Structure 1
Amino acid sequence: MVQKQIKIGFLGFGEVASTLSEELLARGVEVSTCLEGRSQRSVELAKSTGVGLFDSLIELVETSDILMSVVVPAEAVSVAKKVGGGFEGVYVDLNNVSPGTVKEAFTHIPNGKTVDGAIMGGIKNGLETPIIASGEFAENFAELNQYGMNIEVIGPEVGQASGLKMLRSAYTKGVSALLFEAFHAAYKMEVDETLLRYLTQSEGSHFPASANSRLTSSAYHSRRRAQEMEEVVKFLTEYTDPVISRATCEFFQSLPDKTGPMPKKPEKYGEVFRKVDKNRL
């Protein structure tokens, strides 16, 4: 018996969608996205990746077995609402949003075939990047492991995967904000390389590359980070007073004004600090 070829649709087409699509296509999976309402950058990225292109969301919804939502946090609910009742497959929310936002998004998917998913690490590792999933249909999503994905089902309840993602984000983005603050001061004092050397002794040989990546990514993705931290604060408020996470959120909210426009990701953190200092003059 010939197995039916699975059809995956991506809602949103940025770094996550393009990276996963490229490797899934290489493994014979049919991958598509929708051009409707997307930025010029997303359109060009989709075309260069080689995925199937639909002019309307309706076409994408009608032809997909699995829809993966990978949009900015502010669009997680609205994109689910646009999908609506015409979808018969499995809807996977992979956005960096709180369990409350995930559950709100799922109210707009009437068939109930929903999966709470979370990407646990940088997508640069492609299909090997760990993804956790929870919910009644998480096992359906995990069937994509046969195509090289690294999906772990952690529980039967919606909110478990996104909750863990929020906790990880609180830590990683909090560290990034603290790192930015400390290294900016060190850079102005002209002792940043010395600070980097001493921290490498305690943090390990990977620290210089990791620190540079955190600092440049914080600046380049600051608006998205701010939205993600707003979700973290909303989530943590249910359990504690998120003093540090709230400050981290405020840091990322203010960063775009400090750096000014950043059309491409800087290669070195010094470029970021020079822009910040120039804009303060």
Structure 2
Amino acid sequence: MIIGLIGFGKVCQNLVKLIKSDDIRFITSKENRSKSTIESIDNSDVDVVSSFREVAAKSDLLISATSPASSIEIAKKYGKCVKGIYLDLNNISPESTLEIDKYVDNLIDGAIIGKIDSDNPTLYISGKSADELLFLNDFLDVVVISDKIGDVAILKLLRSTYTKTLSALLIESYQIAQNYNLEDEFFDVISVTEGDDFKNHSLSRIKNTLANSKRKSEELNEIIECFSQNELIMVKAALDKFSRL
């Protein structure tokens, strides 16, 4: 089996580490890639072909893990080249997922739940061909939600609604604690109810959010667009906070 990768960030890098089999070959392209991404590809066990169109055409399973903003354009460019399965792992709205479905013959809606670079992430998937990816259970946990495109997209956004607004609140609280030189004490008092690992998890969350605030803002905009009939006070406040980081 050939698994093609469009995007070579932490998600794809970790999948390459986890999915180890003599029967599986990973391919990608350096086409229009940044210097740092090319270095990551060179340091991996992934084979390189000349273009993403070739990646798509040769793949039995094509994984798109780029960014919410580019996911539809990627599907437009390469979706019809794929003879096998097209797995979209971008954090996008159900509407965007259905738009991608117009350009892809065999779409599976997916999400990696858990720390991106963890040893035991869970892959949630939905779509008519979702059962065809159950072989990945040999390498990571796979949960089939339904045969309906968009169900996993809704769950992704609901999860992001919670985690990203929580991140914004955490950053704001931490910044106030810093102003009073009470950072350690801040974590200590909350750890009483949130557990001993709260500080380490929080600092990791803060670091990740600060480093990826632009992408997380894109995801919040997807949430606001998708759930526009809801009040979304906290989501809009989180988006405002990220714009100030």
Please give the range of the TM-score, normalised by the shorter of the 2 chains: over 0.9
Equivalent residues of 1:90, 1:114 under 8 A apart: yes
Aligned partner (choices 87, 92, 95) of residue 92 of structure 1 = 87
For residue 8 of structure 2, give the secondary structure of its aligned residue in structure 1. coil
Q: Describe how 1:214-253 pairs up with structure 2 within 5 A.
A: 214-238=205-229, 240-253=230-243
- After superposition, the C-alpha distances for 1:112-162 in whole angstroms (9 at most, x for unaligned) are x11010111212224x2011101111111222223x121100111111111
List structure 1 segments (4+ residues) > 3 angstroms apart after TM superposition.
none
CA separation in 1, counterparts of 2:193 and 2:17?
A: 37
1:33 lines up with 2:7 in the alignment: no
- The Cα shift of 1:242 comes to 1.1
Equivalent residues of 1:115, 1:141 under 8 A apart: no
1:83 lines up with 2:78 in the alignment: yes
1:254 lines up with 2:244 in the alignment: yes
1:18 lines up with 2:13 in the alignment: yes
Instruction: Give the structure 1 partner of residue 159 of structure 2.
Output: 168
Instruction: Give the structure 2 partner of residue 139 of structure 1.
Output: 131
CA separation in 2, counterparts of 1:179 and 1:49?
A: 35
Instruction: Give the structure 2 partner of residue 275 of structure 1.
Output: none
- After superposition, the C-alpha distances for 1:189-224 in whole angstroms (9 at most, x for unaligned) are 111211111000010011010111111111111111
The code of the aligned residue for 1:120 comes to: I
Aligned partner (choices 105, 110, 132) of residue 100 of structure 2 = 105
Equivalent residues of 1:13, 1:42 under 8 A apart: yes
Q: Describe how 1:206-217 pairs up with structure 2 within 5 A.
A: 206-217=197-208
Instruction: Give the structure 2 partner of residue 70 of structure 1.
Output: 65
For residue 74 of structure 1, give the secondary structure of its aligned residue in structure 2. coil
The code of the aligned residue for 2:111 comes to: A
- After superposition, the C-alpha distances for 1:70-105 in whole angstroms (9 at most, x for unaligned) are 001111001111104222110011001111111112
CA separation in 1, counterparts of 2:8 and 2:107?
A: 20
Equivalent residues of 1:90, 1:141 under 8 A apart: no
RMSD: 1.2
Equivalent residues of 2:18, 2:140 under 8 A apart: no
- After superposition, the C-alpha distances for 1:39-71 in whole angstroms (9 at most, x for unaligned) are 222111111112011121121112110001100
Instruction: Give the structure 1 partner of residue 117 of structure 2.
Output: 124
For residue 176 of structure 1, give the secondary structure of its aligned residue in structure 2. helix
TM-score (ref. length: structure 1): 0.84
1:157 lines up with 2:152 in the alignment: no
For residue 168 of structure 1, give the secondary structure of its aligned residue in structure 2. helix
CA separation in 1, counterparts of 2:236 and 2:64?
A: 26
CA separation in 2, counterparts of 1:69 and 1:250?
A: 28
For residue 95 of structure 2, give the secondary structure of its aligned residue in structure 1. helix
CA separation in 2, counterparts of 1:45 and 1:38?
A: 11
Equivalent residues of 1:133, 1:152 under 8 A apart: yes
For residue 92 of structure 1, give the secondary structure of its aligned residue in structure 2. strand
The code of the aligned residue for 1:132 comes to: Y
For residue 167 of structure 1, give the secondary structure of its aligned residue in structure 2. helix
Give the number of the structure whose residues are more often helix, by fraction: 1
- The Cα shift of 1:38 comes to 1.9
Aligned length: 244
Unaligned runs of 5+ in 1: 1-5, 256-281
CA separation in 2, counterparts of 1:80 and 1:229?
A: 21
